[in-house]
Amino acid sequence: MSDYKRTGAGLLAAGLAIGLGITAGGYFVSRTMINQTLVDTADVKGLAERSVKADQAIWSIGYKVSNADLKAGYSEAEAAAQTIRAFLETNGFPATAIAPGQVSVVENEFRDANGTLIETRYDITGSIVVTTADVKAVDTANQKVGDLIASGLLLTDTQPRYLFTGLNAIKPEMVREAAQNARVAADEFAKNAGVAVGKIRSAQQGGFEIHDDNSGEYGGDDRAIDKKVRVVTNVTFYLD
């Protein structure tokens, strides 16, 4: 058997052994024609992760009132909005962080079996929105939202959104770490295959992902303060 064939057989055996042991590792051996010469390459994935905390909160508190008189209903809606504003200010939010959301009106007609109009009622919905970097204050106040319900308000939404906006500051370091981890993966493969890792042939950076920590497969990405930032880099190395 020629040296080249022995090398190819060794790579195949090592690749199968590693693939069985760490299927999710991202190892892949291929043979590529470059300048009319067959060369061996290894495709690996490098992962970098960071645990971060949200640095911005957007909290929309929705309310709803219903009244047969539109004017009276609108007055009730304004009173509800003022109650929510007072609640937020009591919990330490400045007026500059509080803004009204959109108000909408739906007309509901109630008719009897003969189609005769019995009553018309107007459902008025609106919201008060807090935007702040003080995510802890939002988390604390959100636990007191029962006070608003106890005051007689019908709330339609009280779940804050927690966002991480500092991605640009950690991007360069995470990209370097992902590339370094790809090199570690390639070296591990080469060690088992009995070959040496050469230069990078190509590299492709995946998109950055930000998820709620421990959110699970169907979890949200903006409901928790604790976040996980993740990026995967795909790198192809020459094998010497």
Same domain (yes/no): 11, 39: yes
Which CATH number fits the domain that encloses residue 37? 3.30.110.170
pLDDT at position 156:
94
Measure the CA–CA gap between 37 and 153, rounded to whole angstroms. Answer: 76
193/121 same-domain check: no
Domain identity same for 208 and 156: no
Together in a domain, 110 and 133: yes
Give the Cα separation of 214 and 85 in Å (integer). Answer: 33
Instruction: Looking at the structure, tell me whether residues 169 and 155 fall in a common domain.
Output: no
Residue 110 is predicted with a pLDDT of 92
Whether residues 72 and 126 fall in one domain: yes
Give buried/exposed letters for 11-30 (b at 16+ CB in 10 A, else e).
beebbeebeeeeeeebbebe
Question: What's the rounded Cα separation, in Å, for the pair 184 and 7?
Answer: 21
Task: Tell whether 146 and 100 lie within a shared domain.
Answer: yes
Q: Three-class SS of residue 108?
A: strand
Give the CATH number of the domain where residue 153 resides.
3.30.70.2970
pTM beyond cutoff 0.95: no
- The pLDDT, as a whole number, for residue 213 is 87
141 and 179 inside one domain: no
Please check whether residue 54 is in contact with residue 229, taking contact to mean a CB–CB distance below 8 angstroms: no
Structural domain total, the chain: 2
Q: Would you give the distance in Å from CA 65 to the centre of its chain? A: 33
Note the pLDDT of residue 217: 53
The residue from 108, 127, 162 where one domain ends is 162
Which residues of the chain, if any, have pLDDT below 50? 1-37
173 and 230: one domain?
Answer: yes
Of 142, 162, 182, the residue at which a domain comes to its end is 162
Residue 61 sits in the same domain as residue 114: yes
Beta bridge partners, 187, equal: none
Instruction: Give the residue ranges of DSSP H helices in 43-166.
Output: 70-90, 135-142, 146-150
Long-range contacts of 30-33 (CB under 8 A, 24+ apart): 32/201
Q: CA 169 to CA 190: how far, in whole Å?
A: 34
**220 and 169 inside one domain:** yes
**Domain limit, last residue, from 140, 162, 184:** 162
Quick: pLDDT tens for 17-45. Answer: 333 333 334 444 444 444 444 557 878 88
Q: 18 with 61, same domain?
A: no
Range of the structural domain that residue 123 is part of:
56-162
